[in-house]
Every structure is written in C-alpha cells, then in structure tokens.
Chain A
C-alpha cells in the first residue's frame, strides 16, 4: 500500500492482512456467549433471538392469512384465530420490533461508531438481554397454557374477563419493558459520556441521533406501560376495580394509559429505522447527507411530539369532541418531521453516485413504502375520515406500511449493510436482489389490497367476513406467500454466507463512520487505538483499494486520537 499508517503508537487499527483473533472466536463455549459483557456478542445473541421471534410471528401471520382465504372456517376455529392474531401482534410488537433495531444493530454498531470499547454499562446490557429472555419465556408459557385472545392491546374489560392466559402474557410484556428501558438508559449514558475526540453532538452519525431519540422514549414512556399492565394484572388477580365498570372502574382509562405508552412506542419502532436510512442513503449515494441538522432535530422533534398524540387511537371511544380536536391537531404535527426527513434523503441522492447494492434497494423500498404509510396516516389523523376508517383494514394496512414497509425494510437494509462487519462475510448480491424484489412485490400485494377493503368497511380482527371482501382477502393471502418466499430465500443466502461467504474487507461500502475503521469482524477489543471522529459523512476522505476489495482512508491518521492512546 502506498500510505503506511503512521499512528503515534505504531499500530494500525485495521490489520489488512487479517487477524484470526476477533470477537467471534475470542472465547469458546456457550457460556462465553451467555455471560459475555461484549456488546458485539450481546448484539449477535439479540439478533438470533429477535429473528427467531420474527420467524414465530411470521408463522402466525401466514396461518392468519391462510385462514382468511375463505370466509368462515378454512383451517382453524374462531377461538384459535383470535389467539393467533393476538400472538402475531404480541410477538411481533413486544418481542421483535420494539427491541429490534436498538438491541441488535444498536448494540453492535453504537459503541463502534463511537470508537469505544463497549457501551457505558456492559453489565446492564447483559441484564437487558436476560430480561428479554425472561419476558420471552413468560410469553411462551402463556402460549403453552392456552394463549391469549385479547388482541395485543389487552383492552379492558375484555382482558379482565376472558378465560385465557392474560396474566403470564402481560407479565411477559412488563418484563420486556424493563429490558427495553435498560437498553435505552445504557445508550443515553454511552452517547453522553463516551463520544470520542472530535465528535461533537452535531458530528454524531445520524444513526446515533436516531438511537438516542429512541432511547429517550424508551426510558420515559415504557414505565407507563409497566404500571398499566401491573394494574391490569391486579384487576384480574385481585378484583381491584380500576378498569372494569362492573367493579366501578373505567375501561376507557385503560385505553388512555395503554396508548400513552403504545403511541410513543411506534416511534421506538420507526426512529431507529429512520436512523439506518440516513446511513444507507448517504453511503450508497456516495455523498454527504443533505440537511444534517434538520434530520437530527427532526428525530428529537418526533420523540417529543410522540408523547402528545396518543388520543388519536380513541376518536370513536366516546371521549369528548374537544379532546378529539386537540389530539387530531397534535397528530398532524408529527407528520412534519417525517416529511422533512424524506425530502432530505431524496436531496442526498441528487448528483450522487448511486450504487444499487442490496442495502440501497431496501432504502429505496423504504422510501416508496414509507411514503404510502406516512401519507395514509393523514386519512387517519383527520377526524371525519378516521371515524369511518378506524378499526378497519385501512388501519391494519397503514400500520403495516409504516412498521413493515418502514421499520422491517430498514432493518433488513441495516442487516445487509452491517452483515459484513458483524460476521466478516459477504452474501450473494444476486440472491439478495431477488429476495428484496419478492419482498417488495409480495408486501404491496398483501397490504395495498387491505387499504381498499378497509375503506370499504371491512373491520379488523374478523375471523369471518362478508362475501364482497373475498377477492381482496385472497389477493392479500397470495401476496403474503410471495412475501414469505422472499424471506425464505433471504434466510438461505444469509446462512450460506456464514459458511461459504467471501471474506469481507474492513470497509466494503465506502462509509466514513468509525465502525468501518476496524476489521470485519471486529477484534474483541474493537480498536487498537483511541479514535478521533471527523465529519461522519465526508466520503471524499476514502478511496477504493482494489487489492482489498474495499475502501481505505486517504489519510489513516485522521481517525486516530491525537492524545496518547490507552494501550
């Protein structure tokens, strides 16, 4: 290589010759994983756990879509169907999508982006994972002893009177809430205390702004869910009359409590996805991100505004017209920062040098799908149209366009982006493109039809349906099978890459954030040297090195701390 790295201590961060010692083989045996304090291993364990939950939730979804192929009974009874949609929702929300991006990619990437050895509180990080496992076990116990048929929202008084295993499921969600709080708290402390030399707040990668905004919501909103679910358990177990009108309670109070958490929670789900998007769009457009400060501030704005809009889930609950008006107005305010982000991402692509690698395909998918998801939110935020659309498939479709078309698609983009860093292997680009295409097509067929049947009046959570909705349901079911095929292919080539994949270079994509300055996979200790951060989107500082098949810094010393490192 032309430029030898001349670090003060004479060691390169990137050992281009390849080192055999990395975090994956640093310790041996299952216990070295289960009790590790290494953020990377915790991130990988979370990844396995969360993708398993996604698979489980996906199986429930496929069973639901199969049942809905015909009106009346197709493959299961009404009671089974009601449990299935509850489990699909509960597993996808509490086990998969809320912890999803922060616990997996956040855990893995956040300390690396900071050039740090680990998160600020590694033991809390491990505790968070163990709490996740405990919460998940409660959910599994609930499924085994008869499951829950309340819907993932656990609305009272249905949830306090049904004969199913509500207590174990809600305790599971309660424990998972603490797991989420621990992760959020850890990230807040880490970002405040462990930024490297040169990384001012407005030189943080936007991924960190997104994760930071998410963490604020996790820490502030999740306790409310905890209290609400405990009250629900108290009411069921002890007959305390808080929500059940038969005991002098108020069932609508439960909805206020529940959505006070669960609306901010959808931003816990989408903000990290937006955070990934900013990285993907900039890297694969080969350009500095456009409007950095607007994107950063819009994340904070979304986090704060998200606390003020919960009442829009309750426009038909009988709450006063004045309350409806206030919540409708506040709801529209959240649309603005989301729109700003989308325009900034588009502007980043202007005059870029756009590579259509798999992560970018997901980023483009996201723009398409999230645009639909976001815009259909306008129909639901507006009072008179929401009255008609509330609790129909229109809402189901809107939710899935935002959560699946938004969060899951960005998560997949993130997985494909950081996969070489996490596992040190490349995957098959060709298969990745095919799978991305199938997922895109299948998704739209599954959920766009649901908008149309919803606005025609098809209510959600319906086992049986009227004849006129049959073609929509069948189109949707066909779409879901295409979608599932896309995921099967993805599972195939990703697993294949672990064994047979080409070895990944340190920086395969030419991104300028610090995680690409260490080996793929990273060494156990992450970096050999203290790091210094510059502009995270200054892609001109990198050049392609054909002999490595990846990118290197034109001036490698620019990312090394000027003070003596702690060796």
Chain B
C-alpha cells in the first residue's frame, strides 16, 4: 500500500465511512454474536476518553495562552486548594469507572459462558501450527465451522503457552500445556477470517496462523464428510502432501531445498545424511517413520533436537502416506 492510499484510508476511516470489508477505523469486521457488544463498549469508553482528553488538552492550551508569562507580570493570587472542586473531580471518575467496569463484566460473562448445545472442536497448539480435531476424529489445519451455530473450543498445548485469537470474533484464550482451556463463539457471516497465535512461542510465532472458514448454512456437514475421507479418496502421495501441510511438518521442513528449523525434505528419500552423533545413514522408510515417532533419536547434524513426537497423533496409514509423498519422484514440486 502506498502512502497516499494510506492517507486516503485514514481519512475515510476518520470520517467513519461505512467500510464493511475492513471494519471501522478502530475495529475489524464484526463476525460473532459478541462482537457487537464488545465494540459498543469500546466506543463508549472511546467517547469518554475523547471527552476527557479534549478537556485536558483544551484547558492546558487555554491556560498556556491566557496565562503565558508577560514582562513584569507575576502570577495572580488564586487559591491553592479547593475541597469541593477536588472532591468533585475525584467522584466523577469513580462513577464513570464503575459504569465501565459493569459493562465490561457483563460483556465478559456472555463471552465466558457457552450455550449448552455448542458444537465442539478440539484444538491443539504446538510450535508452530494449530490442529483442529472434529467430532469424527478428522484433523484439519484450519478451523471450519458452520454459520449461526455456537462452537465450543477445548484447547490444549503440547509444548509452551499459545493463545488462540480471532479478531473478527473478538475472542482470545490462552492455550496452556497441562490443562484444557475453553472458548466459544457463534459466527454470524460466512467467509474466511484470520486466526493468530497471540502468546509469544518462539521462532515462528508470527507464522502460527490459521484461517477460520465459516461455512454457509448446510455446507459444513458435507465439507466435513468429504474432507474426512481423504485417505480413501486421494492417492497416497496426495494424501501425504495434505498431511504434510496440515499437521505442521512444513512449518519446519521446506520442500524447496532451503533449511528451516529442520532440514529440507526435498528429495530426502535415499539421501545420505550425517547424524549429530557422527554416524551416517541413508534415508529410507524406517528412518522416516522413526523420525516421525521418535524425532530426536537420530538428528541430522547441524539441527537442534526440537521436533515434537507424533506418537499417537498419526495413524499408520497416515505415516505411510507421508512416506509415499516424500518418496514421490517429483520431490513434490507440485503446488496446491
């Protein structure tokens, strides 16, 4: 975006021109049932803040102009204390903050209490990807949900603290190892929205993104059924490619020859690798399988033993598909 574009955008937003794509000057679009009340409170506090800010700065500027020191003129005598005035400007803020507190708490109760009939999705955060498990056991890297239906997220982390954040829904909740945290929302508009990790979690924290895909009425269930059958409907290579993308492999292993947190897997099958312990191995099916299930048993020289295990998280058929994908002669250059 250029500077002029930015200027125009600022102008448009200051003028509060409706811009449904981008939301308001301050806020992203409202796509959940709670977003409206959050924004209402935001604007309420904003109005109070603008009022007091203008008051403070105006009084300051007027005093500076009016009482600016002039030659041979000292300060005029005026009281240095006025109990009534001081009590007044103590009590008024007290009342205002109580009101703000009340609305904030009320809004929070709605955000913290999911309806009983909510659709449940399990969320797992790990460095540096999200996985979303649906009731039938299918795992996806994006959060797909039906529109107009409450969705409850039960979240856990397999390593450090993450935080699931969807600005369009105005929800955020930390994902803490060793416990389950919960969040819920009800999306109001079909579409695709950003999902961020909001708690710093290391190297690729800022790439720990996903999308929330809100499906129009009647389209969520068919999508889930089709997506769930990918091991049957796709070739092992294609299924492997999908797993490679969905299950977080590509966050650390590139397919273009460049080293990331882990070695590139472009043409890895059959390659000779030097191990950190000094030995050399040739990559075969068994080494790939071991690297998935016991990733830090034999680490390639020059890399840290930081990969999480996939023991219990990938089925045998899925591991097989990934191996087939890595074996594929094209080295998987094909882009989705």
Listed in ascending order, the chain A residues whose CB lies under 8 Å from chain B are 78-79, 82, 149-151, 155, 157-158, 161-163, 245-246, 250-252, 285-294, 316-318, 321, 324-325, 328-329, 332-333, 335-336, 339-340, 342-344, 346-347, 349-356, 364, 367-368, 371-372, 375-376, 378-379, 381-388, 390-392, 452, 455-457, 459-468, 470-471, 474-475, 537, 539
Contact = CB atoms under 8 A, between A and B. Distances in A.
B105 interface: yes
B176 A318 contact: yes
A385 B38 contact: yes
B111 A384 contact: yes
A287 B98 contact: no
B171 A79 contact: no
B287 interface: no
A344 B63 CA distance: 13
A385 B41 contact: yes
Contacts of A288: 80
B225 interface: no
15 contacts: A155-B161, A158-B200, A287-B78, A294-B86, A328-B108, A329-B101, A335-B97, A343-B86, A379-B49, A383-B105, A388-B170, A457-B165, A459-B165, A460-B198, A462-B205
Interface stretch (B177-185, B234-242, B318-326): B177-185
B177 A346 contact: no
A325 B105 contact: yes
A245 B81 contact: no
Contact of A463 (B85, B177, B196, B205): B205
Contacts of A316: 163, 172-174, 198
A144 B220 CA distance: 53
B34 A384 contact: yes
Nearest to A349: B63
Given A340-B90, A381-B97, 10 more contacts: A155-B161, A163-B304, A332-B97, A335-B97, A350-B67, A375-B48, A378-B100, A384-B170, A385-B42, A387-B111
Contact of A82 (B63, B111, B197, B202): B202
Contacts of A336: 90, 93-94, 97
A448 to B, nearest CB: 11
Contacts of A252: 176
A509 B285 CA distance: 81
A354 B69 contact: yes
Give the 6 A-B CB pairs with smallest separation, nearest first: A245-B178, A457-B167, A384-B107, A382-B104, A383-B108, A471-B6
B64 A364 contact: yes
A158 B173 contact: no
A71 B85 CA distance: 51
A80 to B, nearest CB: 10
B42 A455 contact: yes
Interface stretch (B23-31, B132-140, B141-149, B265-273): B23-31
A60 to B, nearest CB: 16
B68 A354 contact: yes
B59 interface: yes
B294 interface: no
Most-contacted residue by chain B among A79, A157, A318, A353 (CB, 10 A): A318
A363 B308 CA distance: 53
B218 to A, nearest CB: 29
Contacts of A78: 203-204, 206
B116 interface: no
A158 B161 contact: yes
Interface stretch (B50-58, B276-284, B327-335): B50-58
Nearest to B13: A452
Contact of B69 (A150, A292, A333, A355): A355
Interface string B213-255: 0000000000000000000000000000000000000000000
Nearest to B87: A294
Nearest to B94: A336
B129 to A, nearest CB: 14
B34 A375 contact: no
Interface of B: 1, 3, 5-6, 9, 22-23, 25-28, 34, 37-38, 41-42, 45-46, 48-49, 52-53, 56-57, 59-60, 63-64, 67-70, 73-78, 80-82, 85-86, 89-90, 93-94, 97-98, 100-101, 103-112, 159-161, 163, 165, 167-168, 170-174, 176-179, 181, 194, 196-207, 209, 304
A292 B79 CA distance: 12
A459 B196 contact: yes
B108 A368 contact: no
Contacts of B167: 388, 456-457
A388 B30 CA distance: 12
Contacts of A158: 160-161, 200-202
A155 B202 CA distance: 11
A352 B38 CA distance: 43
A162 B205 CA distance: 14
Given A318-B176, A459-B198, A382 B45 contact: yes
B195 to A, nearest CB: 10
A226 B242 CA distance: 48
B98 A332 contact: yes
A235 B219 CA distance: 50
Contact of A291 (B63, B86, B170): B86
Contact of B196 (A352, A457, A539): A457
Contact of B101 (A328, A343, A355): A328
Given A250-B178, A251-B177, A384-B108, A390 B198 contact: yes
A548 B166 CA distance: 65
A386 B5 CA distance: 30
B89 to A, nearest CB: 4
Contacts of B194: 457, 466
B56 A367 contact: yes
A392 B198 contact: yes
Given A252-B176, A340-B89, A382 B203 contact: no
Contacts of A353: 67, 69-70, 73-75
A445 to B, nearest CB: 12
A245 B5 CA distance: 48
A7 B201 CA distance: 67
Nearest to A286: B75
B75 A352 contact: yes
Given A335-B97, A388-B167, A157 B177 contact: yes
Contact of B174 (A318, A342, A347): A318
Contacts of A452: 25-26
Nearest to A325: B105
Contacts of A292: 80-81
A391 B97 contact: no
Contacts of A466: 194, 209
B105 A351 contact: no
Contacts of A354: 63-64, 67-69
B67 A290 contact: no
B67 A371 contact: no
A462 B203 CA distance: 10
Contacts of A461: 200, 205-206
A371 B52 contact: yes
Contact of A332 (B48, B101, B160, B197): B101
B173 A391 contact: no
Contacts of A372: 53
A466 B28 CA distance: 14
A388 B78 contact: no
Contacts of B23: 456
Contacts of A391: 163, 165, 172, 198-199
A441 to B, nearest CB: 15
A219 to B, nearest CB: 28
